[in-house]
Structure 1
Amino acid sequence: MPVAVKANDNVVLASLSTNGATEWAFENYNRIGQIAILVFVFAAFVLILGGWKGMSTILSLTFTCLSLFYVYIPFLIAGYNIYAATVIICIYIIGISFIFTGGVNQKSLAAAIGCAGGVVFSGVIYRYMEAVMKLTGYYNDETSRLSQIFGQGNLNLKGVVFAMVTIGALGGTMDVAMSIASSLDEIRTEKAVTKYDLIRSGLNIGKDIMGTMANTLILAYIGSSLVMVLIYGVSNYPLFQLLNKEEIIIEMLQSLIGSLGMLFTIPFTTVVSSILFTARKEEAEPLPYRHKQQTGMKRPGGYRQ
């Protein structure tokens, strides 16, 4: 579409060489400055609201972005196994994020294990659905172009979709896992609770998280694919054929599997947290009294938990 460029507009030009002569053509507006300002505003809000925790969040986000763009993507371009690379980068992101935001402690360990369980669950579900639904990975113009650039058979497009689903599920599961682990950590420090008390509390907390997080994931994927939905909507595409298009199926899988991974993370993190948070307490308590607490037997004088 023709673009009207005015004097003093900050634009990006592309050089075109024909017969030894160089011509310059408008390619796009230069928007880096506006994005930089928005990034600065985001960082300022995080620091103002979070303080030192906000600084940890920014460092965690920085390391995550650097690992994705300067390690993960080059590995895929170099032809490394996409499944192994995706698993490794997910483990790294989980570890670095929870260490920066929560520190090295039982809470971060419980959240990391719970998050890893949710991501693994999402990956397994996708691999199963990929097999039974006979997905090819060729679902839009971008994947076809990617296949042409790398050469037929040199890039595993099924693996690319696996990476999309797994990394997409990572954000939601990390949020849920840390919320559950952090809440249970606060509960166990406020009062003496048993493993089953923590499990009951964690599941109740998870019910409140469940609705908003599921909506967040579904709406995020719908919002990102709204243009595609509008295109099919105005073209009067038959609904049955629309729901069987691989492009639509993959978008649905991303949202549904991401939500399933988040839902699985709730009970898994709850159980892991309850085990880790009560393990030391149970080890410290004398065995005869641990098994007879419910009989009304008193602790010996001077005993401290």
Structure 2
Amino acid sequence: MWEEKKNKENVSVRRKRIFAAILLYFCLLLFVANDAWVYQTPIVKITEVHTKESRKEEDVRGGREPYYTQNIKGILLNGEKKGKTVRLNNEYSYSGVLDQKYAKGDKVLVTLEGDSLKGTIKSLKRDTHLAVLAGALIFLLLAVTKEKGMLTILTVVANFGIFFLGFTGFLKGREVLVVCRFMTVLFAVIPLVILNGFHKKTWAAVLSTLSVLALIMGIFDLTVRYTGGLDYSSMEYLGSMDDPGELFRAEIMLAGLGAIMDVTVTISSALGEITRKNPSVSVRALIRSGREIGYDIMGTMMNVLLFVFACSQIPTFLIRMNNDVDFFTILRLHIPYEICCFLIESIGIVLAIPVSILFASVFMKTGKVRKDRRNER
């Protein structure tokens, strides 16, 4: 009877928390939808749009691409002239690669011409859309995973903080490789400690991740040394770097960190749970179980890595192929570094399986062996 009453109280408290979270979410959306007063840049809500075709220009394939002109009216939402009607002009192309079409109801950031009520559009005001997506993600995390969802949110915030520290250090003149090594250690330690606490599986995953990163960087350095190195002449933004090789090594260091951590955390957590459920399990059985888990997730994680690298290159492929650049020419000249990154990180995923099995087995069984020896005494 007492347990039933306690369960009902817990359900009531949970419902109140969910209701409070939903109410807070809608209050946030209401604030963001009416936050024009926060901005110093003039914001206009479009109330009227007249669109007409202005001209046609020849594109790279010899076709005729139409261009459109928009005469726009809107209400100024902030500043000294708040509430007044503003006239704007916008031109966009049919493809919309470098410009954008605007519609009635859009909120836009504008630049006014002096003291007049005429101006040009800088960009769309997107904070409402971002608030909807971010709020939905946070709400789902909390609803599905409860306390773990809050910890996950904290890890995301912590990772943003690490990126900020790293970029700030680089802009202050520190070497890019030193900054990336510092960021890598923080990325490997802080999120796992936040999610799992100071636990054996946490340190097993951290040491496994750092060991695998050291291995793949060693493999990369040996390969470059004995095969003549890479030609960095086709890398972008070379003018901002004295040594593009350092930039590429930093990219390798960070690119596959998430996938490698996923493998090490999965195996360490699984072996930790097996040990907790069956403390007498042997090391050989743990290794066998870890190997089977690794086989199951290895292919999936490599495909995830492939999709991440491939999707990031879709604009490159489409733009260059639209300019009659051959598919294999793009592979050979424009994205060899991404292919190299994918291969190195895939090697890291494969190496993460035996390395994480080794560390997890040692960590999980070491304490058990010591405890058994103390009991025997």
TM-score (norm 1): 0.81
For residues 319 and 102 of structure 2, the distance between their equivalents in structure 1, rounded to whole angstroms, comes to: 29
| Paired letter, 2:152 | T
**Which is worse superposed, 119-128 or 264-273?**
119-128
Q: Where do 1:147-226 residues align within 5 Å?
A: 147=239, 150=240, 153=242, 156-191=243-278, 192-226=280-314
1:84 corresponds, among 178, 181, 199, to 178
Q: Secondary structure at the match of 2:335?
A: helix
Runs of 4+ in 1 over 6 A off after TM superposition: none
1:228 corresponds, among 316, 327, 334, to 316
Deviation digits for residues 66-107 of structure 1, max 9, x if unmatched?
Answer: 1102x1011111221111111111111111111111110101
Tell me which residue corresponds to 2:107.
10
| Paired letter, 1:59 | L
Q: Secondary structure at the match of 1:244?
A: helix
Displacement after TM superposition at 1:128 (Å): 4.2
| Paired letter, 1:255 | F
Q: Secondary structure at the match of 2:256?
A: helix
2:230 corresponds, among 129, 132, 135, to 135
Retained in 2: the 8 A contact 1:136–1:157? no
For residues 257 and 76 of structure 1, the distance between their equivalents in structure 2, rounded to whole angstroms, comes to: 25
> For the aligned residues, what is the CA RMSD?
2.8
More strand by share: 2
Displacement after TM superposition at 1:27 (Å): 2.4
Displacement after TM superposition at 1:183 (Å): 0.3
CA distance change for structure 1 residues 26 and 158 in 2, over 3 Å: closer, same or farther?
Answer: farther
| Paired letter, 1:165 | I
CA distance change for structure 1 residues 133 and 75 in 2, over 3 Å: closer, same or farther?
Answer: farther
Which has the larger Rg? Answer: 2
| Higher RCO (CA 8 Å, separation ≥ 6 residues) | 1
Tell me which residue corresponds to 1:254.
341
For residues 133 and 11 of structure 1, the distance between their equivalents in structure 2, rounded to whole angstroms, comes to: 52
Displacement after TM superposition at 1:176 (Å): 0.9
More helix by share: 1
Retained in 2: the 8 A contact 1:127–1:162? no
- The unaligned stretches of length 5 or more in structure 1 are 288-302
State the percentage of identical aligned residues. Answer: 22
Q: Secondary structure at the match of 1:104?
A: coil
Displacement after TM superposition at 1:279 (Å): 1.1
CA distance change for structure 1 residues 80 and 23 in 2, over 3 Å: closer, same or farther?
Answer: farther
Matched positions, count: 277
CA distance change for structure 1 residues 238 and 120 in 2, over 3 Å: closer, same or farther?
Answer: same
Retained in 1: the 8 A contact 2:321–2:327? no
| Paired letter, 1:12 | L
Displacement after TM superposition at 1:28 (Å): 1.9
Q: Secondary structure at the match of 2:198?
A: coil
CA distance change for structure 1 residues 4 and 105 in 2, over 3 Å: closer, same or farther?
Answer: closer
- The unaligned stretches of length 5 or more in structure 2 are 1-90, 93-99
Displacement after TM superposition at 1:58 (Å): 0.7
Retained in 1: the 8 A contact 2:317–2:330? no
For residues 103 and 133 of structure 2, the distance between their equivalents in structure 1, rounded to whole angstroms, comes to: 24
